[in-house]
Structure 1
Amino acid sequence: MRQVLAPAVAHHVPRAKAEVVHACPNATTARARCGDRVSGARTARWTRRHLDLLTEDDATTAPLFDPAALPRILPGHDLWDLWPIQEEDGSTSVAAGRELWMALSAPALGHPEERHDRARIRLLGRKGAAWEDLGNAFPDGASPGSREWSGSAIRRPGGTVSVYYTAAGRRGEARPTYRQSVIEARPTLIADGDRITLRHDVPHREVLRSDGRSYLPADEDDGAPGRIRAWRDPGWFRDPAGGGDRLLVAASTAWQDTFAGAIALAGPRDGAWSPLPPLLVAEGVNHELERPHVVVHDSRYYLFFCTQRHNFHPAGRAPTGLYGFAAPTLTGPYEPLNGSGLVIGNPAGQPDQAYAWLVLPDLHVVGFANYRSHPGLDLRYARAAQARAAFGGTAAPTLKLTLDGLSSRVLPAAEESRRVPGRSST
């Protein structure tokens, strides 16, 4: 489902081509230096030179809103990291007259940052502007982890749904740890009248592991979100050029310090998945490139991901936002959109208002409402009551992108928030 758009209002795009990282045959240690790690011939590098071109203007800045003032989709629960159940052609799946979605959820208790330690995948229905809670996607104890983190989902022709997600920690552990595993479950979708559920008696199996050379394992016992290695957020993609199915994964490379964010690619192998060279690395620039996904538009492959301002080196070097690169093929060579990679940044007056953006095939953009900012106060470390009062914990207003080659523009939310995400406007 690809929309033909009128050209966006032109704005000057500075050009700094993404550097290409070439393979090195001598990667022998996990903690390698820059020249020693394994990468593909087309792996692109996000550099400080790109960030020097960053401009925060109307084309790349999200409209202002108050996260804490939005009505909650799930009263009594925090909701974040939304994604649709897709058909194999990328469109949003519909059952019993409702679009099918998933999101992370947790009871709205204590400090909002603690929600990651209680996260479960929630099944949701959407009809018009109304959301419906369809309950937890999986029963208690089904996941091999102690928490369920982000992923993607595809409805198969036979009636099953492939749910790729991140199992965090280990089932039954006494305290949360930060081991991350890429898991697939393939339950049958059951639509009985107005009742929609996923069949529960299916295995949850690890289908992709880091290789320890190109990508470090995310196996830490201690840490916190934003301060751990990444092997998570599996995003499924079918290459329309006949390249088959792929997974994109937020990863960490074998780099000399903690700023080793990357987007890994994986291909199917023997009923599971095998790592391929990364599409993008941000070594020395950014710690984590989250929720990677690809949208094909006008014969270009647009690679999107999100990251937070405190994950840059130095912190605050660029805004919390959605970033993107474009290439003629899935494997590159990729160049940053708008010169810097910035596609949608939070406004300077509310630098934490939204996060976890996902671009749909029709170029609508969903995210979640994060914090209403307080000058001089980092709400991640504020008192629980203060942070809770400022937290949105629900879907943010829907945005819309226009794409024209290596240029992008975000449209005002006031016009787009009335539309149903995932539906074409043509």
Structure 2
Amino acid sequence: MNRVEAKLPVGSADAISAWRPRLIEPAAQIATITAADAAPIFPALDLWDSWPLAREDGTTAIIGGRQYWFFLSSPRFDDPGKRHSAAKIRLASHGLDGWRDHGDCLPDALSPGSREWAGSAVLHDDQQSVTLFFTAAGRRGSGHSFEQRLFAASGRIGNAGPGEWAASEEVIRPDGNRYFVADEGEGTPGMIKAFRDPAWFRDPANGQCHLLFTASAGWDNSAFNGVIGLASLDQAGNWRLDNPLIDAVGINNELERPHVVVRDGRYYLFWSTQRRTFNPAGPSGPNGLYAMVGESLRGPYRPVNGSGLVAANPPEEPTQGYSWWVTGEGEVWSFIDHWGMQGRSFEQDPALLRGQFGGTPAPVFRLAFAGDAVSLL
């Protein structure tokens, strides 16, 4: 797969579905996290954003009775917020005997950034070759920055699952027109601009392969200009930028980790976002899993459940979980963030920063799909 610098003209605005909810209604609440839930699977590490090794049709791959999962990981800092500046992709697997830690996924020589942020992984139809898509944050050997670039590493299935990584290449770049060039030197969490989270998707309608990603509108300078971007693989094996699928200009700054699940001919486009990234002048929702639905990948899309909200943290624990990923089987994975806060604040008790941070997978739940409605089972 070859990298391209796309210079396509901007399409008409009506080709992009807008998320402009007038009101975000309460959704089904995710079960309250308990101390038993928060027991870490790997006590020396914090783990957060996760994604499975999936087959090209979106189903979760099972190899030798095990699922393989990729996590963002870091050492357990006293302030878990520092994890983002030390993030590495960790490979783990789960089977009847529980979790196994397979160590850092990529060798340093194949990691072009100063940190590795979220992406996706696909086991191709030959059942041997694997592609890991990921975000390179910053540049190796350079000073800290919030520059974000989309990379792919090619590998193979071995005795310990995906590995034998042979190459890593940048696959697509923002055009500065539809997609903001996310290369800020400094920023505030939730307010930095985005070009990250590449998620593989093969369209069952025509077999074409795509990447969805979190981005910021290149045509708008406001603080709240999040979009869900799209790139497509052409017949020559080159990735090209397409128009965004969803824009939340004026509503929200970050539509994180977008991905698509197809059910009964409908395309459900999921993402995660947080209350703090909503424009305070408009409708605001909780930290939760959101989605829109359409009859094709390119839409037009309608908000699921009328507002877009699918599942939310309970109001008494609004930060207990985040970064939800819906598998092809309809299971929802996420990580435990700051749980059990019971209304307390970090200002009142700084020890809560570490003491109440989970940094481990949250309990998995499932979704039911019924037309424009998606609910928790």
Aligned partners of 2:40 and 2:203: how far apart in 1?
36
Aligned to 1:127: 95
1: distance between equivalents of 2:123 and 2:189? 30
Q: What is the CA–CA distance in structure 1 between the aligned matches of 2:348 and 2:191, rounded to whole Å?
A: 17
1:9-24 matched pairs, under 5 angstroms: none
Aligned partner of residue 283 in structure 1, secondary structure: coil
2:335 paired residue number: 368
Q: For 2:37 and 2:51, how far apart are their aligned partners in 1?
A: 23
Question: Match for residue 206 of structure 2?
Answer: 242
Contact 2:147/2:185 (<8 A) preserved: yes
Which residue is equivalent to 2:76?
108
Deviation at 1:101, TM superposition (A): 1.2
Q: Which amino acid aligns with 2:141?
A: G
Aligned to 2:131, which of 148, 162, 167? 162
Q: Quick one: distance in 1 between partners of 2:350 and 2:94? A: 31
The aligned amino acid for 1:44 is: S
Tell me the amino acid that sits aligned with residue 137 of structure 2. A
Whether the 8 Å CA contact 1:78–1:106 is kept in 2: the answer is yes
Cα deviation 1:125-177 (Å, max 9, x = unaligned): 11037111011111124211001000000112162210000000000124x21
Q: For the residues of structure 2 that align with 1:89 and 1:243, how far apart are their CA atoms?
A: 9
Give the share of equivalent positions with the same residue, in percent.
41
Shift, 1:42, TM fit: 2.9
- The range that moved more, 295-304 or 155-164, is 155-164
The secondary structure found in structure 2 opposite 1:387 is helix
Say whether the 8 Å CA contact 2:194–2:216 is kept in structure 1. yes
Number of the residue aligned with 2:107: 139
Asked if the contact 1:150/1:165 (under 8 Å) is kept, the reply is yes
What do residues 236-256 of structure 1 show as CA deviations (whole Å, max 9, x unaligned)? 000000150010010100213
Q: 1:151 aligns with which of 116, 119, 130?
A: 119
Specify the alignment match of 1:179 in structure 2: 147
In the comparison of the two structures, how many residue pairs are matched? 364
* 1:46 partnered with 2:43: no
Q: Are residues 63 and 208 of structure 1, via their aligned partners in 2, closer, same or farther at CA, if it must alter by over 3 Å?
A: same
Seen in structure 2, the aligned counterparts of structure 1 residues 294 and 382 have a Cα distance that, compared at 3 Å, is farther
SS in 2 for 1:94: coil
2:298 to 331, 334, 337: 331
Distance 1:97 1:243, change over 3 A: closer
Contact 1:110 1:384 in 2 (8 A): no
Matched to 2:272, the amino acid is C
Indicate yes or no: 2:40 matched with 1:72: yes
Q: Can you list the C-alpha shifts for 1:312-339, whole angstroms capped at 9, x where unaligned? A: 0118921000000100111001000111
1:27-66 equivalent positions in 2, closer than 5 A: 38-39=11-12, 41-49=14-22, 52=23, 54-57=24-27, 60-66=28-34
Match in the other structure for 2:191: 227
Q: Which runs of 4+ in 1 moved over 4 A?
A: 37-40, 381-384
- In the alignment, the residues of structure 1 paired with residue 267 and residue 97 of structure 2 have an alpha-carbon distance, to the nearest angstrom, of 30
Q: Tell me, yes or no, if the aligned pair for 1:68 and 1:371 is still in contact at 8 Å.
A: no
Give the letter aligned to residue 340 of structure 1: S
Are the counterparts in 1 of residues 316 and 342 from structure 2 also a CA contact under 8 Å? no
Q: CA RMSD, aligned part only? A: 2.0
Q: Per the alignment, in what secondary structure is the counterpart of residue 121 of structure 1?
A: strand
Letter in 2 for 1:369: I
User: Which segments of 5 or more consecutive residues in structure 2 lack a partner in the other structure?
Assistant: 1-8
Aligned counterpart in structure 1 of residue 273 of structure 2, from 296, 307, 313: 307
SS in 1 for 2:152: strand
SS across alignment from 1:187: strand
- TM-score, length-normalised on structure 2? 0.91
Distance in 2 between the 1:272 and 1:183 partners? 13
Q: Deviations over 1:177-204 (max 9, x none)?
A: 110000000012211xxx445114x221
SS state at 1:41 partner: helix
Name the SS of the counterpart of 2:155 in structure 1: coil
1:265 aligns with 2:230: yes
Task: Report the equivalent of 1:19.
Answer: none
User: What SS does the aligned partner of 1:116 have?
Assistant: helix
Would you say 1:355 and 2:322 are equivalent positions?
yes
Aligned-partner Cα distance in 2 for 1:42–1:128:
46
CA distance in 2, matches of 1:72, 1:260: 35
In the TM superposition, residue 308 of structure 1 has moved relative to its aligned partner by 0.7
C-alpha contact 1:289 1:307 (8 A) present in aligned 2 = yes
Q: Contact 1:67/1:370 (CA < 8 Å) preserved in 2?
A: no
Asked if structure 2 preserves the Cα contact closer than 8 Å seen for 1:67 and 1:391, the reply is: no
Question: 2: distance between equivalents of 1:275 and 1:67?
Answer: 44
Look up the match of 1:16.
Answer: none
Does the aligned pair in 2 maintain the 1:104–1:120 contact within 8 Å? yes
Distance in 1 between residues matched to 2:264 and 2:291, nearest whole Å: 16
Deviation at 1:383?
A: 7.1
**Residue 39 and residue 165 in structure 1: after superposition, are their counterparts in 2 closer, same or farther (change >3 A)?**
farther
